[in-house]
Structure 1
């Protein structure tokens, strides 16, 4: 039996213990590659992946959101959303405002500076997406998304 591509990449001598193990390791390996490439691009604009994610959420919503709502919408779980928003505020990429009715709620608003940064980042990010998985057909991309969503149902 021929070694899988992942087996070769990892220089693994024997077969994987199970197809589940091989699939999980493939997902982790791919995720690491994508995160590194995306992280490199975001750093060119003074952002981390998590900071970009916050700004993407706020731009998409088009209005201020409570910080806990932002945390719920993050792609990757962030344990300290307050610290993340602190750093964005220091960079003047977001503003915070306490809710008048409930002082425990803090609304976060994207700034014009952040919108300008995201606008500059849009084309290079799209190009990176295409370079990472643009070789897959539209049908393959839909199937990949479907399978990944199906895999997350086990949560």
Structure 2
């Protein structure tokens, strides 16, 4: 028997779940493979909805993430500090900040003490776009996870965190 998020127990078979969804004829080679592919499929679906929402406002996922980090910090940050907090790794955080600055969503200022240090801060235009997105983003997350109760969401978050920290 396998745990079903619908809170009922039912046998694992090929007619339900990912295998049926993608028309897979043969069993997965392992439960780990199935779990991984489920993560990939779920990420693709949920993130594409999020990406479409942000695109309507002229932002990429990474740009939105950087703006949220700056808003959350509520004070100027160095570029590397923003990069450390990003949900997805950014190999070229400088270019991302360049685009945000070109769109007047952030501004840069060199440190008076050390000219090599550049501080990035959110502009009022950047704050305004985040405020405009707060409700639609919140509504999207509510819709995406409407089938889960709070305990299930906590469990899901714990499981996903644990998957990123495998034990040797």
Q: TM-score, normalised by structure 2?
A: 0.89
Structure 2 counterparts to residues 126-137 of structure 1, below 5 A: 126-137=138-149
2:143 corresponds to 1:152: no
1:21 equivalent among 30, 33, 53: 33
1:12 Cα deviation (Å)? 1.1
User: Who is 1:52 aligned against?
Assistant: 64
Number of residue pairs the alignment of both structures matches: 155
| Matching residue of 1:100 | 112
SS of structure 2 residue aligned to 1:16: coil
Which consecutive unaligned segments of at least 5 residues does structure 1 have?
Answer: none
Cross-structure match for 2:55 = 43
User: Structure 2: any 5+ residue segments left out of the alignment?
Assistant: 1-11
Report the counterpart of residue 74 of structure 1 in structure 2.
86
Q: Secondary structure in 2 aligned to 1:86?
A: helix
1:35-78 CA distance string (max 9 Å, x none): 10000000111101000000000000100100000000000001
How far the C-alpha of 1:97 sits from its partner, in A, is 1.2
* Paired position in structure 1 for 2:75: 63
2:98 to 71, 77, 86: 86
CA distance in 1, matches of 2:115, 2:46: 39
- The alignment partner of 1:95 has SS state of strand
> Which structure features the higher share of helix residues?
1
Kindly state the Cα deviation for residue 134 of structure 1 after the two structures are TM-superposed: 2.0
Higher RCO (CA-CA < 8 Å; seq separation 6+)? 1
Q: Deviations over 1:64-121 (max 9, x none)?
A: 1000000000000011000000000000000011223333222110000011111110
Question: Structure 1-normalised TM-score?
Answer: 0.96
Question: Quick check: which has more Rg, 1 or 2?
Answer: 2
